[in-house]
Amino acid sequence: MSQKGGARALLRALRSVLAGAADERAGAGAGETGRGRKGQQRLDTIVRLVASNLVAEVCSIYLKRDPRTLELCATRGLRPESVHAVRLRVGQGLVGRIAERAEPLATEDAQSTPGFRYLPETGEERFRSFVGVPIQRLGEVMGVLVVQNEAARTYTEDEIEALETVAMVIAEMAEAGAFMGSDGMTAAGRRVGPVMIAGTAASDGVVEGVVHLHEPRLVLFQPIAEDVGAERRRLGGAMEALRGEIDGMVHDGSGLGLEHREVIEVYRMFAYDKGWLRRLEEAVESGLSAEVAVEKTQSEARARMERSADPYLRERLHDLDDLAHRLIRHLIGDDHDRPELPENAVLVARALGAAELIGNAGRIRAVVLEEGSVSGHAAIVARALAIPMVVQAERITRDANAGDRVVVDGETGRVHLRPDDDVAGAFREKIALVEQAREVYRTLVGKPATSRDGTTIRLRMNAGIRSDLPSLGRSGADGVGLFRTELQFMIRRSLPLRDEQSALYGHVLDMAEGREVVFRTLDIGSDKILPYINRRDEPNPAMGWRAIRVGLDRPHLFRMQLQALIRGANGRPLSVMFPMVSEAWEFYAARDLLLGEADRLERLGHPRPQPLRIGFMLETPSLAHAPDRLFREADFVSVGGNDLMQFFFAADRENERVRRRYEALSLPFLDLLGSIAGRCAALGVSLSFCGEAAGRPLEAVALAALGYRELSMRPAAIGPVKQMIREVDLGEVRAVLDEARAAEAVSARPALQEWSEERGLPV
């Protein structure tokens, strides 16, 4: 039997099994039990059909009960009582290995194959030959389909291919819920009912809302083609539409940066790749619907590319995924467009760019990401906008369904999907408590952050986009200590023109009503990518071509921003600082450009900012050792603790695996910060700290104790930090730090925590 013939005959037989499933989903409405029984019947029918088609004594389906456990859900040939009784860990035995590696495995002699594990409950000892294929969808293994024979038998490539095709259909049916309820089974490993996911807190606040999937899950109801010819024509039509779309992108993108054009060219190369089309057509010939053919081909390409040693090829996987997704959308048509954001939307995504968050701010109550990082820019933006965020929430995109109720705790990092009444009730209490605390902070607005020993700390806020500005009044911030100008650039598709930039800066100064705003010039590079600026992939972007390095190498772009700042100030006071200065000359060069623009514009009749204050960010350890002249010539210094810490500990702030090992309260880091404060005081330059640590009460009082008199933080942190400062004596904090140092502690955190607990301080 030829491969296509074999697969096609099997699929024809399967189609009748599926027909019932489609009716049910259309609302023909079996109750829970009825649906469970039908789900089981479908599984039983599939194993019977496969066994007879492949002339095998055994066919079994194992589906994931949870992410790590496989359960025997149907069998033809093994003991019936073992169904739903036998469970395996992923990785265990041959079946577990297939699930783990997402690769087929065939052997003539299962018992002597390494990793074999005999399951006595099933009575499988009689069966020598074994072939299993993963049941997977979009790279996610949902289960394993197995065929066994008594005699030694070599399974042909065609048979394995036919099994993979059937496995594809099973995966689609599982995704569409066709087996739902068979003895409580979920859609193959996806959990139903209440689920708690412990992620990492990235932006605080507790919120109850409704799940909105950023990338809606596509459910394909017709995995098997009714008419192969018609399906071939649908595929051809969609492919043409896809190519048209990509050609359009190439055309529209002619004004884009090189990097962006290269990506589109790669898309075009894939879209016109004959091999891809041939594999898609073959999958359709085997009897699959065009959509499932795309998924099958994509799963195979994914497996090939993931195994490849070529990093370029592995990187392209994402592009190919995107292309396959686009092709499926062309097949499904427009009626499957993205659903609207529901009210109280909690955005659930694998990863999210800062721009996407800014674009939807105001309509999102919280964000939960499967990947992401606490110090990434999406998290910084979330904190700036006071949107609670949890990152590293494992499997959230798999376990959450659009419309599910969800509670997000941005303080502990816990996410409760479909919470039961007790959990939801407890969170409502917590939400009420947070509201009470906010009430207290509101009473502090207008009061100074003066410690018990009489030291006043100036608390300012970090900002970067228009929607931050209303927080200036609400939070009681004494101006903006860090305005991240690049955020405005990041949310755009093209470079904002000078006039647009100056209008924004002018508007920010208007909103500040005379309070100081410290504008930081563009800090792009690293994870802050502008699609319209040429960029090369760099092995170490955080230490690569970024921030002031880009500014000085691209003076045209840099000067345009400096002009916009001067024009926006329109004669008012203007404070400008340069990011990531590593050597003194970079500051002098940037300052000279700024002063040169101020002179030039003055000659052209534009009022000169009065005063024009120019400073630098201290974000690299080298700068802490720069000559005195640098400090004397700057009007102010602002310590960028986020970057300074990553370079001090050589630990990438974007990398969750290493980031958490080091912390701002470690004594060597505090000593560095203390010595910077000492130098600035001795040289008479004003100093502030604008990293994330400034917004945490314990860190904030430690910084104050080290001599920092200005702290800039996200607006929501001002209340808690002010409350803390007002209750401490900085002399006591210094004593705690000295004791920790004398005790040769690694970090001052335990000592500070103990001290604050003894004092009953509001940490």
Query: What are the φ/ψ torsions at residue 448 (nearest 5 degrees)?
Result: -80, 155
User: What DSSP assignment string belongs to 153-201?
Assistant: -PPPHHHHHHHHHHHHHHHHHHHTTTTTTGGG--STT---S-EEEE-EE
Q: How far apart are CA 680 and CA 686, in angstroms?
A: 7
Q: Closest Cα partner for 706 from 641, 620, 615?
A: 641
Which one of 176-184, 447-455, 640-648, 722-730 is the stretch in contact with ligand PEP (CB under 6 A)?
A: 640-648
User: Which of ligand PEP, Mg ion, none interacts with 482 (beta carbon under 5 to 8 A by kind)?
Assistant: ligand PEP
User: Which of Mg ion, ligand PEP, none interacts with 169 (beta carbon under 5 to 8 A by kind)?
Assistant: none
Contact track, Mg ion, 623-642, x by CB under 5 A: -----------------x--
Q: Are strands 195-198 and 200-203 parallel, antiparallel or unpaired?
A: unpaired
Which one of 163-171, 272-280, 453-461, 637-645 is the stretch in contact with ligand PEP (CB under 6 A)?
A: 637-645
User: Which of ligand PEP, Mg ion, none interacts with 24 (beta carbon under 5 to 8 A by kind)?
Assistant: none
Q: Provide the minimum distance between the beta carbon of 643 and ligand PEP in the complex, in angstroms, as a whole number.
A: 3
Does the protein bind ligand PEP through residue 691 (CB under 6 A)?
A: yes
Amino acid (1-letter code) at residue 204: D
Contact 545, 538 (CB under 8 A): yes
Does the protein bind ligand PEP through residue 642 (CB under 6 A)?
A: yes
User: Which of ligand PEP, Mg ion, none interacts with 223 (beta carbon under 5 to 8 A by kind)?
Assistant: none
Shorter beta-carbon distance to Mg ion: residue 64 or 653: 653
Q: Are strands 517-520 and 574-581 parallel, antiparallel or unpaired?
A: parallel
User: What DSSP assignment string belongs to 99-165?
Assistant: HHHT--EEES-GGGSTT----GGGTGGG--EEEEEEEEETTEEEEEEEEEESS--PPPHHHHHHHHH
User: Which of ligand PEP, Mg ion, none interacts with 641 (beta carbon under 5 to 8 A by kind)?
Assistant: ligand PEP
Q: Provide the minimum distance between the beta carbon of 717 and Mg ion in the complex, in angstroms, as a whole number.
A: 17
Shorter beta-carbon distance to ligand PEP: residue 56 or 713: 713
Total interface residues for ligand PEP by CB under 6 A: 10
Does the protein bind ligand PEP through residue 482 (CB under 6 A)?
A: yes
Q: Provide the minimum distance between the beta carbon of 376 and Mg ion in the complex, in angstroms, as a whole number.
A: 12
Which one of 106-114, 171-179, 235-243, 636-644 is the stretch in contact with ligand PEP (CB under 6 A)?
A: 636-644
Does the protein bind ligand PEP through residue 285 (CB under 6 A)?
A: no
Which one of 291-299, 432-440, 502-510, 638-646 is the stretch in contact with ligand PEP (CB under 6 A)?
A: 638-646
Shorter beta-carbon distance to Mg ion: residue 209 or 640: 640
Q: Provide the minimum distance between the beta carbon of 97 and ligand PEP in the complex, in angstroms, as a whole number.
A: 44
Does the protein bind Mg ion through residue 481 (CB under 5 A)?
A: no
Q: How far apart are CA 137 and CA 141, in angstroms?
A: 7
SS3 state of residue 651: coil
- Which CA distances in Å does 455 have to 38, 221, 679, 731, 735? 73, 67, 19, 10, 16
SS3 state of residue 60: strand
User: Which of Mg ion, ligand PEP, none interacts with 706 (beta carbon under 5 to 8 A by kind)?
Assistant: none
Shorter beta-carbon distance to ligand PEP: residue 667 or 711: 711
Shorter beta-carbon distance to ligand PEP: residue 352 or 618: 618
- Which CA distances in Å does 67 have to 61, 116, 189, 271? 16, 21, 6, 34
Shorter beta-carbon distance to Mg ion: residue 208 or 710: 710
Task: Say how many Å lie between the first and final Cα of the chain, rounded.
Answer: 72
Does the protein bind ligand PEP through residue 189 (CB under 6 A)?
A: no
Does the protein bind ligand PEP through residue 641 (CB under 6 A)?
A: yes
Contact 481, 519 (CB under 8 A): no
Contact 433, 452 (CB under 8 A): no
SS3 state of residue 89: strand
Contact 690, 703 (CB under 8 A): no
Does the protein bind ligand PEP through residue 643 (CB under 6 A)?
A: yes
User: Which of ligand PEP, Mg ion, none interacts with 630 (beta carbon under 5 to 8 A by kind)?
Assistant: none
Give exposure, 538-566, as e/b (b: 16+ Cβ within 10 Å): eeebbbeebbbbbbeebeebbbbbbbbbb
What secondary structure letter does DSSP report for 747?
B
Q: Provide the minimum distance between the beta carbon of 581 and Mg ion in the complex, in angstroms, as a whole number.
A: 11
Q: Provide the minimum distance between the beta carbon of 663 and ligand PEP in the complex, in angstroms, as a whole number.
A: 14
From candidates 690, 703, 718, 730, binder to ligand PEP by CB under 6 A: 690
Shorter beta-carbon distance to ligand PEP: residue 597 or 643: 643
Does the protein bind ligand PEP through residue 484 (CB under 6 A)?
A: yes
User: Which of Mg ion, ligand PEP, none interacts with 287 (beta carbon under 5 to 8 A by kind)?
Assistant: none
- Which CA distances in Å does 532 have to 490, 493, 540, 547? 10, 7, 21, 16
Shorter beta-carbon distance to Mg ion: residue 17 or 690: 690
Q: Can you tell me which residue has the tokens 């705790």?
A: 409
User: Which of Mg ion, ligand PEP, none interacts with 715 (beta carbon under 5 to 8 A by kind)?
Assistant: none
Does the protein bind Mg ion through residue 164 (CB under 5 A)?
A: no
The DSSP H or E segment spanning 311 is helix 311-332
Does the protein bind Mg ion through residue 643 (CB under 5 A)?
A: yes
Shorter beta-carbon distance to ligand PEP: residue 372 or 640: 640
Tokens coding 696: 């945490």
Shorter beta-carbon distance to Mg ion: residue 203 or 756: 203
Contact track, Mg ion, 598-627, x by CB under 5 A: ---------------------x--------
Question: In the Cβ-directed half-sphere of 515, how many Cα atoms lie within 13 Å?
Answer: 19
Q: Closest Cα partner for 191 from 395, 437, 409?
A: 395
Does the protein bind ligand PEP through residue 105 (CB under 6 A)?
A: no
Which one of 28-36, 119-127, 192-200, 639-647 is the stretch in contact with ligand PEP (CB under 6 A)?
A: 639-647
Q: How far apart are CA 62 and CA 75, in angstroms?
A: 9
Q: Provide the minimum distance between the beta carbon of 526 and ligand PEP in the complex, in angstroms, as a whole number.
A: 8
Burial of residue 680, with CB atoms counted within 10 A of its CB: 0-12 exposed, 13-18 middle, 19 or more buried: buried
Does the protein bind Mg ion through residue 409 (CB under 5 A)?
A: no
What secondary structure letter does DSSP report for 448?
-
Q: Provide the minimum distance between the beta carbon of 516 and Mg ion in the complex, in angstroms, as a whole number.
A: 20
Shorter beta-carbon distance to ligand PEP: residue 162 or 698: 698
Q: Provide the minimum distance between the beta carbon of 541 and ligand PEP in the complex, in angstroms, as a whole number.
A: 12
**Residues within window 516-535 making contact with ligand PEP, judged by CB under 6 A:** 523
User: Which of ligand PEP, Mg ion, none interacts with 508 (beta carbon under 5 to 8 A by kind)?
Assistant: none
- Bridge partners for 616 per DSSP: 578, 637
Shorter beta-carbon distance to Mg ion: residue 267 or 689: 689
Which one of 110-118, 228-236, 598-606, 635-643 is the stretch in contact with ligand PEP (CB under 6 A)?
A: 635-643
Total interface residues for Mg ion by CB under 5 A: 3
Does the protein bind ligand PEP through residue 640 (CB under 6 A)?
A: yes
Contact 276, 553 (CB under 8 A): no
Does the protein bind ligand PEP through residue 652 (CB under 6 A)?
A: no
Shorter beta-carbon distance to ligand PEP: residue 329 or 484: 484
**Residues within window 615-634 making contact with ligand PEP, judged by CB under 6 A:** 619
Q: Closest Cα partner for 387 from 642, 723, 714, 696?
A: 714
Residues in contact with 464: Cβ distance below 8 Å, sequence separation at least 6, in sequence order = 381, 384, 483, 484, 485, 486, 487, 488
**Where do contacts with ligand PEP occur on this chain (CB under 6 A)?**
482, 484, 523, 619, 640-643, 690-691
**Where do contacts with Mg ion occur on this chain (CB under 5 A)?**
619, 640, 643
